[in-house]
Structure 1
Amino acid sequence: MGKKVVIVGAVALGPKVACRLRRLDPEAEILMIDRDDCISYGGCGIPYYVGGDVSEIKELESTVFHVRRDCSFFDIYKHLTVRTRCEATAIDRRAKTVSVTDLNTGAKEEIPYDTLVLGLGSTPFVPPVPGADLPGVHVVANLHHAQAIKEMVQKGKVSSAVVVGGGAIGLEMAEALSDLWGVETTVVEMMDTILPQAVGTEIAKVVQGEMRENGITVLTGDRVEAVIGDPENGVTAIRTANAGEIPCELVIFGAGARANTQLARDAGLAVGRFGGILVDERMRTSDPNIYAGGDCVEIKNLVSGETFNLPLGSMANRQGRVIGTNVAGGHAKFPGAVGTFCLKMFEIGVATAGLTMRQAKLAGFDPAYALIMGTDHAHFYPTQKFVFLKLIADRTTRRVLGIEAVGANGDAVKARVDAVAALIVRGCTVDEIGNLEVGYAPPFASAMDILNAVGNTLENVLDGYNHPMGMEEFIEGFGQEKFRVLDVRSEDNAAPYKEKFGDRWINIPQDQLDTRINEIPKDEPLVCFCNTGLRSFECQRYLDSKGFKTLCNVQGGHGFLSKLDPEFLN
């Protein structure tokens, strides 16, 4: 008889542990339990099921060969036992038993283990506001929630909806409701921007603009005070602190989740500052006979060195393999993560890895960044699309701390971020990004890839050649008349700005700079401006050499301005 391994949780981490362990140890006695009757499904696919990209819910539960991953599947194909509708209620670490209750019959039993694995997942956070329990209020945590939301929409019961929370799940659900079903959708986020934990405000505002263009209303810096309705008729509106009452028939709370750790806490296992179970590099808890992974744990942030909670299906699967290897007697390690993240929003993709500027400052770094606009393919290739790429590094060490990207070709956006994410783990510097070897062919990249370009730009910033001004600083400062603009684009490009802003907007095209340099004021703050930030940088350098001391270069240029503030000219 092999070792007894009990796995609590059968959605993402648990099945990966079980399958890896079975391949390495054919004799192990493996029991996997879950309180739900839906197991081993792709939870991250729920918004795409609601939105119609995934036509049937069974596709989220099936293998690539369309075999449903139910209890019979694990019994027949994987030779292990799965018990659903069974809840683990207590752990006796000394006796090495788990107390389990059958939720169908109420029967209780003590199950012995040699090794215990906890894949407890997380629970959506619902703020304690009046009306949060009304019919028509939902969270998105499992397939039952997904079916309930989709059925409600399919039956024509929803003309308007409010999504509370501007994180990934909230935005994905907002797109699903608006795109396929034409539901009038509002997103309410209490922070100043959407995706507050993933990207900086500039990139977040590009995503917000894409949502606005597709009919979604986004309310940031606002909070829900009450859900309005009654038990018989359900939700009729939601009230926020700033916007007042917003009529709706559906409310989805996507305001983050909390790690399910009560079972671990009650057993005396160590828990971190964010509420997740603490584990070492082998995914062991403070009890060497108990492993944990997935949404319920805290792992090391490989950039800041602190612990953090990263509830992603990709994390759970990678950690599950490590646990399975170690339970079988191996020595696999999961050192931590840099927090790589990607999201599709209508026609654009956004991706990020590492720290944002705000997070870098809080972690004690002295960060600087470069933001450029460029093409993901060769500029002459017909499928090329513009990408905004932001690279963040520490001024002193030049170590890369983070990267953010947004653009129309989501695969191209993700590829650039993935490349840098792999290097951040090694502690790479800005100079390495500028010289990074990447594949080149016009259908896929430029000869000087945008990734190299943003590395070179940040290198120029750190070396003092490029005097950057962020777009938000530019918009605010110009509105307060802190400086004048030197637009080095063509006269046709600059004409609307000259007409609106008069002598505050000076237009001298780059090829005329030599002959018209006397028209440029030397005794007042001036910022250089072009379409992307490249020509304006060259002009800034030229004017630096001529004794101009108060010049800045606007990062991202007109291309980024038009995305961040499309009403700038109005």
Structure 2
Amino acid sequence: MGNIKQNIVIIGGMAAGCKTAARLKRISPDFNVTIIEKKSFVSYGTCGMPFFASGEIDGFYSLAKTPWGRIRDAEYFQKAKGINVLTETLVEKIDYNKKLVECLDIKNGNRFSLTFDKLVISTGAKAKKPLFPVPDFEKISTFHNPLDAKKIRELAQTGKIGKAVIIGGGSICCELAESLAGLWGIETHLVELEDRLLPTSLDKEMSRFLEKTFISNEINLHLSSRVEKVLENDEGNPVVYLINGEEIDSDYVFLCIGIEPEVELARSIGVSIGESGGISVDSQMRTNLENVWAGGDCVEVKSLITGKPDLFPYGSLANRQGRVIANSIAGLKSELKGASGAISLKVFGLITASCGLSENNAINEGFNAGVVWGSWHDRPDFHPDAKSLLGKMIYEKGTMKLLGLQLMGRGEVTRYIDVFSVLISNGATANDFLDVEHAYTPPHSSPLNPLNSLGAMAISQEEGGIKALNPLLLEQFDGNILDIREPFEISNTPLGKDAKEYPIMEYRNQINEFDKDEPLLIICQKGPRSYEAVRTFINAGFSNVQYIGGGYQFSKVII
């Protein structure tokens, strides 16, 4: 492309850094690109750490291989990409005015400097330090570095961990819990400060499905539990002390209380740090300093829902950011509009996915949040492979703007989150859900998909008064209950509450049995029949009637 030869130095050799380097050499081959990484490896798929720890993935470097089996090491980047990679090299200082990066070779202690014309900071994130006392010894660690996964696998393989405590309830914690308990047979305790798992992504009723899955797989949950301290006992093992007085003995403790951007180098040269703690960048990933870009877990980007800067430490996003950085350096037009926070994980066969804001977060952000719930099969009921899905959608009342979606099940889940991510990123409303066209075939989907249904329910709730009750609140409901399920459904899954039972073929003839002024809750198995029945009662003059969101199938799973 006729570029003047320039030195591009990239600090950090994981997703964002390596993507920037590879893309840049493709479009600007004359550039001299160097990656500096303090670890002994680069381009490592850290999201796969729990699967290596569990033994599902064989070799440590399997997470650093190309699809054709070549390890993405320094030699690979040099010979295949023309990129210089310095591993086990620590950046001690950046002299921005002189355009120098001062480095330490960890292997031999030698110090040297590299000049740069353009600088990319992709220093990633670091594990948060706990606010409670923790001794510094070998049986307590984070689960953030790939070397942590390697250590745990070696200990598990040699039978040196019989009981473990995970402090934290985020995605990596849930996957680690499955690895320890499900595949190594280790007695596992998970301690979370909030009242739910995945607290930044799920609301309580959705978390309950995940919680019950964990409990059924013999993982001991300690929710709404604050750690007071961790001490070493006389046997040389860690003990976790909770504020409520509970003590949990263990052979190993994992500190997984979250991560925070690694920004010290950036701050040292005057790069602006945002309110969230990440490096502040524009849509081209440029910092406030000329010729300095940043990407990956160390940056903050705009939330496409709130419009505010936030942290989105996801490998998928880091790769996209790397492309934008490379294009920007090369003078090509490219932007990252922001992020919606789409996540997914699979534990014990249950797929959990979300995108956007939870109801709790939406309220905290000042939105007048409306909510609907649904329960479906991921393909027609008649299909032998049909599996149940549970979902919750959050929207803004009035504007009907989409705010968030949470889905769980053992079948087709993430495809709907992916579609939702595109819609929410473009400011879509619940009305747009009605226009979602999907590829329909019975082996993979139903004629109407969950997004179509959720959109219709939200519109009916706001425009027609067809109100849904949180399925978690079924036991607390005080009023009359009408169960319109078929007798065999009631026999198979009894409600356990006093209710009048009139199936869908009969209830219309019994409307006069109910007082129009008293609260009435209508229940069916999945929601559609009771949703329709609420409209019938409203048309008959009832003013205080609602259906259980997602039907009794939803409530039964989570209560």
Normalising to structure 2: TM-score of the pair?
Answer: 0.96
Quick one: which amino acid aligns to residue 28 of structure 1? F
1:499, 1:383 → 2: CA distance?
27
- Are the counterparts in 2 of residues 298 and 310 from structure 1 also a CA contact under 8 Å? yes
Corresponding position of 1:340: 342
Corresponding position of 2:546: 552
Question: CA deviation digits over 1:344-371, x for unaligned, max 9?
Answer: 1111101111111122222222111211
Change (3 A) 1:550 1:7: same
1:214, 1:498 → 2: CA distance?
25
Corresponding position of 1:489: 485
Change (3 A) 1:531 1:27: same
- Are the counterparts in 2 of residues 170 and 253 from structure 1 also a CA contact under 8 Å? no
Quick one: which amino acid aligns to residue 102 of structure 1? D
Q: 1:217 aligns with which of 213, 217, 220?
A: 220
2:199, 2:496 → 1: CA distance?
34
Indicate yes or no: 2:280 matched with 1:281. no
> 1:169: how far off?
0.7
1:70, 1:558 → 2: CA distance?
53
Q: 2:315 aligns with which of 303, 313, 316?
A: 313
Question: CA deviation digits over 1:275-304, x for unaligned, max 9?
Answer: 100000000011121110000000000111
Corresponding position of 1:50: 53
> 1:203: how far off?
1.2
Change (3 A) 1:64 1:498: closer
Q: How many equivalent pairs are there? A: 556
> 1:268: how far off?
1.1
> 1:447: how far off?
1.0
Task: Tell me the C-alpha RMSD between the 2 structures.
Answer: 1.7
- Are the counterparts in 2 of residues 498 and 506 from structure 1 also a CA contact under 8 Å? no
- SS state of the match for residue 457, structure 1? helix
- SS state of the match for residue 359, structure 1? helix
Quick one: which amino acid aligns to residue 487 of structure 1? D
Corresponding position of 1:303: 305
1:293, 1:386 → 2: CA distance?
38
1:149, 1:87 → 2: CA distance?
25
- SS state of the match for residue 457, structure 2? helix
2:351, 2:49 → 1: CA distance?
18
Question: CA deviation digits over 1:117-144, x for unaligned, max 9?
Answer: 0110111123143334232112122221
Change (3 A) 1:461 1:72: same
1:338, 1:500 → 2: CA distance?
40
Unpaired runs of at least 5, structure 1: 566-570
- Are the counterparts in 2 of residues 126 and 132 from structure 1 also a CA contact under 8 Å? no
Quick one: which amino acid aligns to residue 531 of structure 1? Q
> 1:505: how far off?
2.2
Question: CA deviation digits over 1:41-61, x for unaligned, max 9?
Answer: 100000011112212212111
2:267, 2:156 → 1: CA distance?
39
- Are the counterparts in 2 of residues 460 and 466 from structure 1 also a CA contact under 8 Å? yes
Corresponding position of 1:129: 132
Corresponding position of 2:453: 453
1:548, 1:429 → 2: CA distance?
29
Question: CA deviation digits over 1:372-402, x for unaligned, max 9?
Answer: 1011112211101111122221111111111
Quick one: which amino acid aligns to residue 472 of structure 2? E
State percent identity of aligned pairs: 32
> 1:492: how far off?
4.2
Question: CA deviation digits over 1:407-454, x for unaligned, max 9?
Answer: 111xx1000110111111111111110221111000111111222111
1:538, 1:243 → 2: CA distance?
50
- Are the counterparts in 1 of residues 238 and 253 from structure 2 also a CA contact under 8 Å? no
> 1:499: how far off?
8.8
Corresponding position of 2:354: 352
- SS state of the match for residue 324, structure 2? helix
Corresponding position of 1:21: 24
- SS state of the match for residue 418, structure 1? helix
> 1:496: how far off?
8.5
Change (3 A) 1:332 1:387: same
1:243, 1:55 → 2: CA distance?
41
Indicate yes or no: 2:403 matched with 1:401. yes
List, as ranges, runs of 4+ consecutive aligned residues in structure 1 with deviation greater than 3 Å.
Answer: 491-501
> 1:495: how far off?
5.5
Q: 2:243 aligns with which of 238, 241, 265?
A: 241
1:298, 1:236 → 2: CA distance?
35
Indicate yes or no: 2:178 matched with 1:175. yes
1:200, 1:317 → 2: CA distance?
29
- Are the counterparts in 1 of residues 379 and 442 from structure 2 also a CA contact under 8 Å? yes
> 1:307: how far off?
0.7
